[in-house]
Structure 1
Amino acid sequence: MSGGIRFDSVTVAYDGNVVLDSLDLTVEPGEVMALLGPSGSGKTTALRAVAGFVRPASGRVFLGGRDVTDLPPYRRGIGMVVQQYALFPHMRVEENVAFGLKAQKVARGEIRERVALALEMTGMAAYARRRPRELSGGQQQRVAIARALAIRPDVLLLDEPLSALDARLRSDMLAELARLHRELPDVTILYVTHDQVEALTLGDRIAVMDRARLRACGTPRELYRAPADEFTASFLGGANLLPVTVGEEGVFLGGRRIKVSGEAPGAAATLCVRPHLVGLGDGPNQLAGTVSEIQWRGSTHRLCVDVDGNRVMADVRELKDPPAHGDSVTLHFAPEDAVLLAAGVTDD
């Protein structure tokens, strides 16, 4: 069965409580689709529906064009890595990696070859004889990935695989996962995360989930630069979301006229501009305000400025003489760096 995943109006409910609401989504063969959203958004439920661990109340799940909704998990040919890794503590690394192959009754000689290849791909060949307790968290995660890859799945499901790791290990493993994807371009990956950096780094496309529904889907660049709504803008990368009014004479933030590229969505709108695109000093779309907070972040300072009661964030290159709390400053941003969103977009 070739790769690719399709959700056809998939709804999942527990005791009448809908946790995934009419999901329509297609993951192309060889694509990495990041399911991004807060806790309770439905992203893990969607992944478990693909794996066969939950049964949809309605709708169908397809793998490689084949309806697998009624198939048990072991007949779907899927590799899966979960947050807790789920390694068998009494087995050595090589035995853990071989587990799925033995369940498939693969010939012993082929098992040895596949285990060796999977451990080599994940950089764990030197640890084949160790037990999980002798490994670091990052090494255990590599073993879990090797076990999933050993069965040569068309579809690989990753459920918050990096959340238990510290920041440095997360960064290293992101690079490793990106490398594995380059080496295995035919494997379709569904990657569940609440971390925007992971989604932006790994996803060919990102599906943003909120309150059991799909809110937006697109490439990282599309969603970051032109988010579909306020939730997507704030969850994917953080944003200044400022209430504006739109009329025949233009766009106004308070009494200031703002120049924005593109068409306005209506009389009441929200102006979206990313903090790193807001500069300090004179320039287009000047906003005068008072510094309410300043944070040093190593290479940058984040200024939080009160502009007529609106909090505007600006991430500027590290300043030798930064403004202090209460100082008056001027901010600016380019018209092409701002996006107008329809105001107050919420679910029914």
Structure 2
Amino acid sequence: MNSGIRFDSVTVTYGGHDGHTALDALDLTVEPGEVMALLGPSGSGKTTALRAVAGFVRPASGRVFIGDRDVTALPPHRRGIGMVVQQYALFPHLRVDENVAFGLKAQKVPKADVPGRVADALELVGMGAYAKRYPRELSGGQQQRVAIARALAIRPGVLLLDEPLSALDAQLRSGMLAELARLHRELPDVSILYVTHDQVEALTLADRIAVMDRARLQDCGTPQELYRRPRTEFTASFVGNANLLPVAVGEGSVSLGGAELKVATDGVAAGAAATLCVRPHLVGLGPGPNALTGRVTEVQWRGATHRLFVEVGGQVVKADVRELRQPPLLGEEVVLHFAPEDGVLLAAGVRGG
């Protein structure tokens, strides 16, 4: 099955006509075989969007399509989707193979076909040797693999992942990210909608990222587009970490703390208020293009790097530089720099949506 997902102006409200709008006129398409991450803070609407696809909430207006089917009014079990949630939701009284078989039996798959489908799904997630164990005998990461196997056993065209790694520790999360990336390569026809508030997960797994805030879609693009050339201040701050510095705009340059900086000013008129976005790892220490002079207010050691906080013209600029044997002292005057192509100018206050 090769199915995409399409939100056609989907609005979800809670509490009746005058209630809370949890999702506001969402227009978004997940292409067949694509991994789309819904990224945003708590309450942004991302989980509501996923639940609308699953059939757990009914839109107040708009339509949801899976492939070319309008599934807005269909119950969850008729949508042909697999779903994995944060807390795994395994049945504690059933063995691993029985948990994975549950959805197949619900779909009335011929009894003779069930063992083979279960074995295939468990092998896909590396859990074939654990078929006869109970969930309580598994680690958190192993339980999550079983939950994914159960979702994949029904051979869905669409896989919904709702914060699937948030209950795992950092080391397990890293391993499961690699496993999910491998699964995507091995299941190229399955469309995946992945809800997360973790930017690393989104940047690692997604073909495209939809950035959500305040129930609305704020931005959408490839991870590289959103990270390197964000279109809004919200995207710049939520996808990766960024310096967002108010600047005065001139002709092909901006000024900050008395320094004139060369950056592309396309689309922002001279004299307009604007925000300069520069990623901390692209800010160097020492003389160079677009030099900024300021005083160190804080130094953080982060293992391979030092993060410097430098006050420039009343603004704090963050710089991530390779670990220094002798980092600058608090109050010391330093020079920072960044390449003109690494600065992105945003119209001040633009949040998207």
Q: How does 1:15-94 map to 2 (within 5 A)?
A: 15=15, 16-94=19-97
Select between 315-324 and 92-101 the one with higher mean Cα deviation: 315-324
Distance in structure 2 (CA, Å) of the matches to 1:62 and 1:145: 23
Q: 2:130 aligns with which of 127, 134, 139?
A: 127
Residues 1:8 and 2:18 are matched in the alignment: no
Q: 1:118 aligns with which of 121, 124, 129?
A: 121
Instruction: Give the conservation status (yes or no) of the 8 Å contact 2:39–2:210.
Output: yes
2:341 is aligned to 336
Select between 286-295 and 150-159 the one with higher mean Cα deviation: 286-295
Q: 1:109-129 CA distances to partner (integer Å, 9 max, x unpaired)?
A: 211001001000101011111
The amino acid across from 1:139 in the alignment is: Q
The amino acid across from 1:286 in the alignment is: A
Distance in structure 2 (CA, Å) of the matches to 1:346 and 1:198: 23
Q: 1:219-260 CA distances to partner (integer Å, 9 max, x unpaired)?
A: 000000110110100000010000011134731113211100
- SS state of the match for residue 200, structure 1? helix
Distance in structure 2 (CA, Å) of the matches to 1:22 and 1:327: 51
Q: 1:125-148 CA distances to partner (integer Å, 9 max, x unpaired)?
A: 111111001110000000000000
- SS state of the match for residue 245, structure 1? strand
Which structure 1 segments of 5+ residues have no match? Answer: none
Select between 253-262 and 170-179 the one with higher mean Cα deviation: 253-262
Select between 26-35 and 105-114 the one with higher mean Cα deviation: 105-114
Distance in structure 2 (CA, Å) of the matches to 1:249 and 1:9: 39
The amino acid across from 1:309 in the alignment is: G
The amino acid across from 1:215 in the alignment is: Q
Deviation at 1:264, TM superposition (A): 4.8
The amino acid across from 2:308 in the alignment is: L
1:142 is aligned to 145
- SS state of the match for residue 6, structure 1? strand
- SS state of the match for residue 294, structure 1? strand
Residues 1:97 and 2:115 are matched in the alignment: no
- SS state of the match for residue 144, structure 1? helix
TM-score by length of 1: 0.98
TM-score by length of 2: 0.97
Instruction: Give the conservation status (yes or no) of the 8 Å contact 1:246–1:264.
Output: no
1:326 is aligned to 331
Residues 1:276 and 2:281 are matched in the alignment: yes
1:242 is aligned to 245
The amino acid across from 2:340 in the alignment is: P
Q: 1:258 aligns with which of 248, 257, 261?
A: 261
Moved over 2 A (4+): 247-250
Q: 1:88-112 CA distances to partner (integer Å, 9 max, x unpaired)?
A: 0000000000000011111122110
The amino acid across from 2:100 in the alignment is: V
Instruction: Give the conservation status (yes or no) of the 8 Å contact 2:219–2:352.
Output: no
Deviation at 1:344, TM superposition (A): 1.2
What's the RMSD between the two structures over aligned residues?
Answer: 1.1
Residues 1:299 and 2:299 are matched in the alignment: no
Aligned residues: 348
Instruction: Give the conservation status (yes or no) of the 8 Å contact 2:218–2:352.
Output: no
State the identity %. Answer: 78
Distance in structure 2 (CA, Å) of the matches to 1:6 and 1:321: 54
The amino acid across from 2:278 in the alignment is: V
Select between 239-248 and 64-73 the one with higher mean Cα deviation: 239-248
Residues 1:186 and 2:157 are matched in the alignment: no
1:173 is aligned to 176
